[in-house]
Amino acid sequence: MPELPEVETSRQGIINYATDKTLKSLWLSNKALRYPYNFEPPIFVGKRCINITRRAKYLIWHFDQEKLLVHLGMSGSLRVEETSKLTKKKHDHAVFSFDGGYSVIYHDPRRFGSIMMYSGEWQKKMAKLAPEPLSSEFNSHYLINKLKQTTRPIKITLMDQSIVVGVGNIYANEVLFQLKIHPEKQSSLVTTAEAEKLVVSIKTILAAAIKQGGTTLRDFVSGNNKPGYFKQSLLVYDREGLPCVSCGKPISKMTLGQRSSFYCKVCQPCSVKS
């Protein structure tokens, strides 16, 4: 369920159970995730977790020496359970048991996620990632320059990891609705004023979602954590046919880049499409 706010929420949910703790055991299921494992569990067992950080939608688990990269894909989630009461569920693929009595469990039905040792190869990949949306590096000057260079629909550009990381399908829809920009609008025709608002809107909406995610953190311990996803606060995503919160006309749906796009034909007119 991970867009960037969920990944960040997951990080905050597990960090206190892993940081400054020694990994006592690491169990992996025999099912392959997105990539074949590039390590054996003993490499990490006995090592102390120093910190867990996030880059884009990746979590980086810093152990004494090696680092571990965890991505939740489309259906991944992390939960914390007391090791003594741990019950493995279908689609659990990794159990990190730390001293202190708690385990972090990686669960991923579709197995689009990955757990990898942070090898040199991965460091290269990560180094190429675009700026974090909440960083000062992602500003209107930067975005305007990027938008000039492509004729693709603005929604596809916003979701392009080489432009800015962490803006997934839901938030791309929400941001464009908020600013009354048609999802198909050619990126290079987005005005300077619109680009400036896009930057502000992306930062605001992601920060707000992260903040809300925090309210569900206590559920992590019980193991029945609901992903901190706030459907009730989404204004356009998954609302096809339902009245636009602004004008009341039904929300439309179209496919762009193989992803569902929701928009209001009235509030987001395609005046300057292509």
**Do 20 and 38 meet the contact criterion of CB atoms below 8 Å apart?**
no
Which active-site residues does the annotation give?
Answer: 2-3, 57, 259
Which helix H or strand E contains 54, and what residues bound it?
Answer: strand 49-55
Question: With binding defined as CB under 7 A, does residue 39 bind DNA?
Answer: no
Question: With binding defined as CB under 7 A, does residue 57 bind DNA?
Answer: yes
Closest distance to DNA from the beta carbon of 6 (Å): 6
Cα–Cα distance between 212 and 264 in angstroms, integer? Answer: 26
Query: Within positions 96 to 115, which residues make up the interface with DNA, using CB under 7 A?
Result: 109-112
Closest distance to DNA from the beta carbon of 184 (Å): 10
Of 131-139, 174-182, 243-251, 256-264, the window that binds DNA (rule: CB under 7 A) is: 256-264
Query: Within positions 226 to 245, which residues make up the interface with DNA, using CB under 7 A?
Result: 227, 229
59: tokens are 């979590």
188: tokens are 């290079």
Closest distance to DNA from the beta carbon of 98 (Å): 26
Of 67-75, 99-107, 175-183, 197-205, the window that binds DNA (rule: CB under 7 A) is: 67-75
Question: With binding defined as CB under 7 A, does residue 270 bind DNA?
Answer: no
Nearer to DNA by Cβ, of 241 and 248: the residue is 241
Kindly give the pairing relationship between strand 58-63 and strand 102-107: unpaired
Cα–Cα distance between 230 and 227 in angstroms, integer? Answer: 9
Task: Identify the residue among 49, 56, 206, 264 touching DNA (CB under 7 A).
Answer: 56
Kindly give the pairing relationship between strand 49-55 and strand 58-63: antiparallel
Cα–Cα distance between 255 and 64 in angstroms, integer? Answer: 46
**Do 43 and 66 meet the contact criterion of CB atoms below 8 Å apart?**
yes
Determine the size of the site formed for DNA (CB under 7 A): 36
Nearer to DNA by Cβ, of 109 and 223: the residue is 109
CA angle 199, 77, 56 (to 5 degrees): 30
Task: Identify the residue among 3, 8, 81, 184 touching DNA (CB under 7 A).
Answer: 3
Question: With binding defined as CB under 7 A, does residue 8 bind DNA?
Answer: no
Cα–Cα distance between 268 and 176 in angstroms, integer? Answer: 8
Give, in order, the Cα–Cα distances in Å from 9 to each of 97, 141, 203, 208, 242: 20, 29, 16, 12, 29
Nearer to DNA by Cβ, of 50 and 134: the residue is 134
Question: With binding defined as CB under 7 A, does residue 150 bind DNA?
Answer: yes
Closest distance to DNA from the beta carbon of 3 (Å): 5
* Cβ-count burial 248-259 (b if 16+ within 10 Å, e if not): eeebbeeebeeb
Which residues contact DNA by CB under 7 A? 1-3, 6, 31-32, 34, 56-57, 71, 73-75, 90-91, 109-112, 125, 149-152, 156, 159, 161, 168-170, 227, 229, 257-260
